[in-house]
Amino acid sequence: MVGLTRGKIAEGVTFQRILDDVRESINSEEVERLHLLTRKDLHNIKRDFGINSHQLHANDATSVSIFLEQIKDCVLMNKNVIGNVDYSSDNDVMIVLMTDLQCQMLQKFGPKTVCVDSTHCTNVYKLLVTTLLVLDEFGSGIPVAFCVSNKENTTVMTQFFTCVKEKADLIKPSVFMSDDTQIFRCAWARVMGLADNNLLCTWHVDRSWRKNLRKVCGGPQRQTQVYKALSMLLEEPEVDKFGELLELFERELHEDENTKDFGIYFSNTYGFRPQHWGYCHRRSLNINTNMHLEAMHRVLKYCYLDGKTNNRLDKLLLILMKLTRDKFFERIVKLFKGGHSYRLQQIQRRHTESKKIDRGQIAASNDGKHFQLTDV
């Protein structure tokens, strides 16, 4: 019984599937020891026979060192201190990973769009996973480098991007998108130079606005009014009108005692750099949020890590490499079979629908830049 179960565990069969098979085989007239198998028994078998593909050594630090030596061609930096490290000290824990294929993807698609963001809660050491990502011709996100570190500051990110530059050479993207922080943009500018368009993720900007609405006095109704005005401003498609609305919005905030504090926050944080967050400044850039990275980080946490904070760093590093491998196989499937992201599918659907419109229903504006449908 143990040998059969051990074999299934080693093959990667899930515990739930093993338990299902055992319980479906039970005969009401004859219950054997096998039928009393529990999830704890399976964990004990896995532990006693050392069935852990990610564990190259019982000690996590030693296992990490062995694993990084096995994939040394992909390791761009290894400041690896595991165990009793004081993460509040000045000691840097930093591992940078990039495969040759990732390097090629960055060189190919990096000149268009580069996204970067960090995620937490992937390991008990509270190390951050920072991902550098590009968009391929299908509009899908491709991770091109990972940085596992105990800090997220300009110095650490500058080291990360320097490692990337040394392997992939200078990358000058048309669009560089990050969350609502100066850390990534400043570090990238130090190493690669300023991108043509430095954008903030709209989702992060909106979250920051909602969080700071508490600065608005006058109750929930007044806060709702301010938030609606912010949303209209954010989504305004015309540059000239956007500028007028922005000026009017800031003036009204500062003149009203109930919104003055929020007005100071808004002017000091966003008012001076509308080109980073206004929709009108990114209409032709085909990207609005960092959702490709957000989605990938959700897949990492809930599909590869089963929604749990894992106890070992070696497992996290192995999973990052598996995630990279799987992303590239998804791309290969699309290249051979054809395939589009949801966004491209929607564009294609709208294009097909637009071809059904009678030309007589289309009227152009005086400047010839805008069109609208008219009833015939």
Look at residue 88 in the predicted model and tell me its pLDDT.
43
Helix axes 220-235, 239-255, angle to 10 degrees: 160
| 37 and 76 Cβ atoms separated by less than 8 Å | no
Question: Is there a domain that residue 131 lies in?
Answer: yes
Q: Which residue would you say has higher pLDDT here, 88 or 133?
A: 133
The string of pLDDT tens digits covering residues 320-357 is 999 999 999 988 888 887 666 566 677 777 778 877 78
Assigned domain for 250 exists: yes
Is 356 inside any structural domain? no
Q: How high is the pLDDT of residue 1?
A: 54
Number of independent structural domains in the chain: 3
Whether the per-residue pLDDT at 255 is higher than 50: the answer is: yes
- Whether 17 has a pLDDT exceeding 90, the answer reads no
Q: How far apart are CA 316 and CA 12, in angstroms?
A: 17
Mean pLDDT of the chain: 84
Judgement on whether residues 73 and 212 belong to the same structural domain of the protein: no
Q: Phi/psi of residue 358, each to 5°?
A: -70, 130
Predicted confidence band of residue 186 (pLDDT cuts 50, 70, 90)? very high
User: Is 364 within a domain?
Assistant: no
In a shared domain, residues 195 and 238: no
* Co-location of 195 and 271 in the same domain: no
Residue 338 in any domain: the answer is no
Tens of pLDDT, residue by residue over 294-305, are 888 888 888 888
- Whether residue 105 is found in the same domain as residue 150: yes
In this prediction, residue 326 carries a pLDDT of 92
**Type of residue at 91:** N
Say whether pLDDT at 184 is over 90: yes
Give the H/E segment covering residue 3.
helix 2-10
- The answer to whether position 355 is within a domain reads no
Higher pLDDT, 375 or 252: 252
Cα dist from 316 to 151, 160, 213, 320, 346, whole Å = 17, 18, 37, 6, 35
The rounded distance, in Å, linking the Cα atoms of 35 and 11 is 21
Residue 263's pLDDT is 95
Residues 71 and 180 in one domain: yes
Beta bridge partners of 114: 134, 176
Q: Are residues 254 and 235 in the same domain?
A: yes
32 falls within a domain: yes
Cα(327)–Cα(335) distance, integer angstroms? 13
342 assigned to some structural domain: no
| pLDDT tens-digit series, residues 82-117 | 544 444 455 678 999 999 999 999 999 999 999 999
User: Mean pLDDT across the stretch 265-284?
Assistant: 91
271, 154: one domain:
no
**Whole domain around residue 189: which residue ranges?**
60-201+290-330
Examine the domain organization and report whether 100 and 28 are in the same domain.
Answer: no
> Within this chain, do residues 109 and 250 fall inside the same structural domain, yes or no?
no
**CATH number, domain containing residue 136:** 3.30.420.10
Nearest alpha-carbon partner for 261 in 317, 213, 209? 213
Query: Could you give the percent of the chain with pLDDT greater than 70?
Result: 86
- 147 and 264 together in one domain: no
Q: What is the average per-residue pLDDT within 231-253?
A: 93
pLDDT, mean of residues 73-81: 85
Helices (H), 131-170: 154-168
Looking at residue 339, its pLDDT comes to 63
Question: What does the CA dihedral 57, 80, 66, 129 come to, rounded to 10 degrees?
Answer: 90
**Mean pLDDT lowest among 48-52, 208-212, 225-229:** 48-52
Q: Supply the pLDDT for residue 229.
A: 94
Q: What is the pLDDT of residue 341?
A: 59
Q: Tens digits of per-residue pLDDT, 209-223?
A: 999 999 999 899 999
pLDDT at 86: 45
Assess whether 263 and 319 both reside in one domain: no
Rank 79-88, 220-229, 283-292 by mean pLDDT and report only the highest: 220-229
**Could you tell me the sign of the dihedral formed by the alpha carbons of 122, 123, 125, 127, in that order?**
negative
| C-alpha span between 2 and 80 (Å, rounded) | 38
Considering the domain architecture, whether residues 180 and 78 belong to the same structural domain is answered as yes
What is the Cα Rg of the chain in Å? Answer: 26
Inform me whether the pLDDT recorded for 206 exceeds 50.
yes
Which pTM value belongs to this model?
A: 0.76
